[in-house]
Structure 1
């Protein structure tokens, strides 16, 4: 059978945006749980998946998780969490962005690249050259000249690569019959993402200089104070469990919020708000401030300074944070 032709058909069938995640050695329920499935949403379904849901299918020694219209599995932080103790592969198609292929082993991204331009200099991971021979075999390579269209069929080629790695062929009409599925929420899986952190820039030069000179204890104190301030502005500072979680973060003992905890249930409502507004800033900052790395916690807590808006004056807040970091 023509592997590429078959893969083209599956890509066309799944549509303009989807993510396929292959997880080795776990069953369907465990694969969904590793992806951040809400336990109360796990069940057998038929027909189109609701937004935010993923379906799981057993495929030999692997479980295939399909996100129609979703992209959670392409997040390398989530995939690393999914791969702990095993292996995981994800293939993303997103016609509004860029495709992505990621292979993670035992909690580490081994190889990740954009299949439409898989140049060695932009392929990353702990062993970026590991799959080069397979990539070449399926036609995943950078163009030799400007007129060479090696980007065509990028997603189909990456699907063939996933098949070579896993021995799993995505079935035809994979979502046509009953299958186990659930709503997934990556917020509860893995730590902060790079985009969650405040990045250096001319506007924040003084702040970053102050942070670099500050001891870890002060960084954590300032980070927690900022998240408390944001929660107060949003009227949710009294949320059960929030004060305790922030107290632990201030001591450097922060830990992820369990989705079945009282705080976790409130976070879930914040994440599912129709118009999250500042709650989106809060959930992102909260996940980051719980990290035990003081620099990560501080940069995550200060990420809302790039947004500001109607909640607060970001320039005034920036100056106040810089002064707090410099305080003796």
Structure 2
């Protein structure tokens, strides 16, 4: 069977929503850990047992992490973390959204694009033209006219492109036999996402002006104070390990929360609760632990866009602006 036919069969086999991440030079446990595996969920599973889990398998010098029904590996921020010191490729199929192909090298996105419309104008990364010759060879190109359906087989062609880069195929029946697998949670291994940060806008003009004038130590102090305030409003300020983590952040010594720590177990519960307030807190916490004071502040202030039942938005915005001005 030709490469495209084989890839088409594998895409059909994996279904309408999946992500395959190729990680070079690491074993299965390490690949899962890099993607945020919960240590207590690592076990061999197959078939229906894999629902909600990611499965890992080794092929030559690469390990493939397959998420049936999942999308985590397609997040370029996570893939950059996964690729530190090595290379990683991800192929996403999602029939309800946009497919994605991403190639990251040593912590940086090199090439990323939508396989259904791989126009050079919307291909991005540090070297967006790097794969053009391979993309053309496997038929990944933008349509020459409105009636040309180059979007068909986009995911299958992406799998062929990944094969050309890695030299490995997704095995037939990859999930039918027991594979090392785990539940994965990117929160524990990746930095804050752009969507986690407060963005400038007319309503926040005074706040951003005050932040720009404030020194880093002031930004960190205000950021930590905001996360403490939010935790207090949610009734979780006394969570073991939280105060110590925020003390470190205030000194500019923040670090990721270990997944198997006491605080890590509480964060897991917050992430799984499906509560809007706790969701805002976890996003703010991840950002405030970043050693970049600007990221920490903007992450801590992101809940200001929510407001609602948690706090009065105008009052909170004015209080934060005043704190930044006084401290600077």
State the TM-score, normalized to the length of structure 1: 0.97
What is the aligned partner in structure 1 of residue 228 from structure 2? 228
What is the aligned partner in structure 2 of residue 171 from structure 1? 171
What is the aligned partner in structure 2 of residue 299 from structure 1? 298
Aligned equivalents of 1:116 and 1:315: distance in 2? 43
Aligned equivalents of 1:195 and 1:14: distance in 2? 29
Aligned equivalents of 1:173 and 1:315: distance in 2? 56
What are the within-5 Å matches in structure 2 for residues 154-303 of structure 1?
154-273=154-273, 275-303=274-302
1:253/1:161 CA distance change after superposition, 3 Å: same
CA contact (8 A) 2:74 2:92 kept: yes
What is the aligned partner in structure 1 of residue 29 from structure 2? 29
Aligned equivalents of 2:96 and 2:200: distance in 1? 28
What is the aligned partner in structure 1 of residue 127 from structure 2? 127
CA contact (8 A) 1:258 1:264 kept: yes
CA contact (8 A) 1:143 1:149 kept: yes
Aligned equivalents of 1:200 and 1:155: distance in 2? 36
Structure 1 position 210, deviation (Å): 1.4
Aligned equivalents of 2:204 and 2:11: distance in 1? 43
CA contact (8 A) 1:49 1:68 kept: no
What is the aligned partner in structure 1 of residue 102 from structure 2? 102
Q: What are the Cα deviations for residues 213-267 of structure 1, in whole angstroms up to 9, with x where unaligned?
A: 1111111111111100000001000111111111111111111111121111111
Q: Say which SS state the counterpart of residue 228 (structure 2) adopts.
A: helix
Q: Say which SS state the counterpart of residue 272 (structure 1) adopts.
A: helix
Q: Which runs of 5+ in 2 are unaligned?
A: none
Aligned equivalents of 2:254 and 2:200: distance in 1? 24
Structure 1 position 105, deviation (Å): 1.1
Q: Which runs of 5+ in 1 are unaligned?
A: none
Q: Say which SS state the counterpart of residue 295 (structure 2) adopts.
A: helix
What is the aligned partner in structure 1 of residue 88 from structure 2? 88
CA contact (8 A) 1:111 1:128 kept: yes
What is the aligned partner in structure 1 of residue 319 from structure 2? 320
1:17 aligns with 2:14: no
What are the within-5 Å matches in structure 2 for residues 38-49 of structure 1?
38-49=38-49
Aligned equivalents of 1:142 and 1:229: distance in 2? 49
Q: Say which SS state the counterpart of residue 315 (structure 1) adopts.
A: helix
What is the aligned partner in structure 1 of residue 310 from structure 2? 311
CA contact (8 A) 1:48 1:175 kept: no
Structure 1 position 276, deviation (Å): 2.2
Q: Say which SS state the counterpart of residue 92 (structure 2) adopts.
A: strand
TM superposition outliers: structure 1 runs of 4+ over 6 Å = none
Structure 1 position 50, deviation (Å): 4.5
Structure 1 position 51, deviation (Å): 4.2
